[in-house]
Amino acid sequence: MPTRRELLALTSGAAVTAAAGLPAPAHAHAWSTDGWTATWAAAPTTVPPTPPTVLASQTVRQIVHTSVGGDEIRIRVTNEFGNGPLRLGAARVALRSGEGASTGIVPGSDRRVTFGNRAAVTIPAGSPLVSDPVRLRVTPGADLAISLYLPARTPVTTLAAFAFQDNVIADGDVTAARTVTPVATIGQYLFLSGVAVRREARAVVTLGDSITNGANTASNLNHRWPDLLAARLRHVGVANVGISGNRLLHDPNPAPGSDAEGFAAYFGHSALRRFDRDVIAQPGAAYLVVLLGVNDLGHPGTVAPASEVVSADDLIGGHRQLIARAHSAGLVAIGATVLPFKGDTLGFYSEANERKRDVLNRWIRSGGEYDGVVDFDRALRDPADPLRLHPAYDSGDGLHPNDAGMAAMADAVPLRLFS
């Protein structure tokens, strides 16, 4: 569930275990043999039924934080939620200079990006487009500045709505400029959904909601738990496909006339619906980490109809589908327990929802169906009241961890799961 801060911006060790006793998965890894590995990702969604942002003869410069390095890169530009063709006039990539919200580039690192040897292309509605390889040495944890020039009037129909990174829009084709003069600063990723590096390596795909997406972390610091996990792994790619507000079982379904009509589209397709696009399609995907279920519990009756109330068995059935589909694609499937949320400010908590969370978490821990387990619940709960987040990890809404909580989550992931 997005935080109030996000919506306003858009509309104006001991707790970790491997799954004890589980046999090693018999299925083979699916990671690619063509030498490409995901180093960054942002899961795209559509936009609410309100007038969209429109770009016209403008450049969007966007900063992405890599996980694993390599000597060549490819970017994925997406028009997957567009109703018409997307004209891309130019694209360039460079190493970012500076820190925080800086969008300057390192001299000598700027490279032209082509698609089928063409700099200007048209992307059909409903489609992504993967670039040609670009020779650029990238180290683990580097920041890239990716600049896209939109020459025609372009409604923004495909985006990742909650970036926790300041990106900028500038007038004209300034894709090659060392620095640009912003006409707008945005906290979104527009028409950009992935970066891969040429490297024989594996990738971890983190599938989740706002907690995986990075809700309530400080912008421009890359304190999302998947980023911090990537810093521990170093030589394994991490593709974060968390979406704020995402559910396992249902697409967004705001009540007609409710405030949620203005933002629910950003919650994205259900995890079951988007799994092939956002998980299986990641280059080098070998491992899946799933943290989902809290929005399935909390949305009905708040930002979704009460008719979409789910049972613990419903959630377990959805997780079983993710496991089956991951295994059929050769991925190791790792389940993460749902964090506590008693006392949350979003209206999610009830005794009934707590009972369902408990049943789901007990199944994840001991059901023996996931290949491994990360126990985020035990890592972040308050020892004095295990149904609540530990005060040191609470961002203030009782649901989303703060930066310290994200660090605790990253530390709670046993690296042996990715051996």
CATH number (domain holding residue 296): 3.40.50.1110
Question: What are 244-273's pLDDT values in tens digits?
Answer: 999 999 999 998 999 999 999 999 999 999
Q: Do 320 and 400 fall within a single domain? A: yes
SS3 236: coil
Q: Do 269 and 405 fall within a single domain? A: yes
From 194, 212, 234, the end of a domain falls on 194
Strands 70-79 and 127-130: antiparallel
**H-type helices in 267-349, by residue range?**
271-275, 294-298, 312-328
In a domain, 41, yes or no: no
Domain that residue 97 falls in? 54-194
From 142, 174, 194, the end of a domain falls on 194
Q: What is the pLDDT of residue 3?
A: 55
Q: Do 268 and 414 fall within a single domain? A: yes
For 188, the token pair is 């979104």
Q: Do 182 and 207 fall within a single domain? A: no
Please report, as a single letter, which amino acid is at residue 296: D
Q: Do 275 and 178 fall within a single domain? A: no
In a domain, 38, yes or no: no
- The pTM assigned to this predicted structure is 0.93
Cα separation, 380 vs 340, whole angstroms: 8
DSSP 109-132: --EE--BTTBSSEEEPTTEEEEPP
Q: Do 316 and 384 fall within a single domain? A: yes
Contact criterion met (CB below 8 Å) for 200 and 380: no
3-state percent helix, strand, coil for the chain, nearest multiple of 5:
25, 30, 45
Give CA torsion, residues 97, 407, 219, 252, to 10 deg.
130
Cα separation, 151 vs 163, whole angstroms: 24
In a domain, 108, yes or no: yes
Q: Do 154 and 206 fall within a single domain? A: no
Q: Do 169 and 225 fall within a single domain? A: no
Q: Do 119 and 150 fall within a single domain? A: yes
In a domain, 44, yes or no: no
In a domain, 138, yes or no: yes
Strands 372-374 and 332-336: parallel
Q: Do 307 and 333 fall within a single domain? A: yes
Q: Of the candidates 39, 185, 27, which has an alpha carbon nearest to the alpha carbon of residue 102?
A: 185
In a domain, 356, yes or no: yes
In a domain, 160, yes or no: yes
SS3 147: strand
Contact criterion met (CB below 8 Å) for 374 and 335: yes
Q: What is the pLDDT of residue 20?
A: 36
Per residue of the chain (419 residues), give pLDDT as tens: 565 445 444 433 333 333 433 333 434 444 444 799 999 999 999 999 999 999 999 999 999 999 999 999 999 999 999 999 999 999 999 999 988 888 999 999 999 999 999 999 999 999 999 999 999 999 999 999 999 999 999 999 999 999 999 999 999 999 999 999 999 999 999 999 999 999 999 999 999 999 999 999 999 999 999 999 999 998 999 999 999 999 999 999 998 999 999 999 999 999 999 999 999 999 999 999 999 999 999 999 999 999 999 999 999 999 999 999 999 999 999 999 999 999 999 999 999 999 999 999 999 999 999 999 999 999 999 999 999 999 999 999 999 999 999 999 999 999 999 98
Q: Do 159 and 262 fall within a single domain? A: no
Q: What is the pLDDT of residue 34?
A: 78
Question: What are 120-158's pLDDT values in tens digits?
Answer: 999 999 999 999 999 999 999 999 999 999 999 999 999
From 163, 194, 225, the end of a domain falls on 194
Residues 6 or more apart whose CB falls under 8 angstroms from that of 266 comprise: 2, 10, 45, 47, 48, 161, 162, 243, 244, 245, 252
The domain total for the chain is 2
In a domain, 37, yes or no: no
Q: Do 355 and 213 fall within a single domain? A: yes
Strands 182-186 and 192-198: unpaired
* Residue 143: φ, ψ to 5°: -110, 135
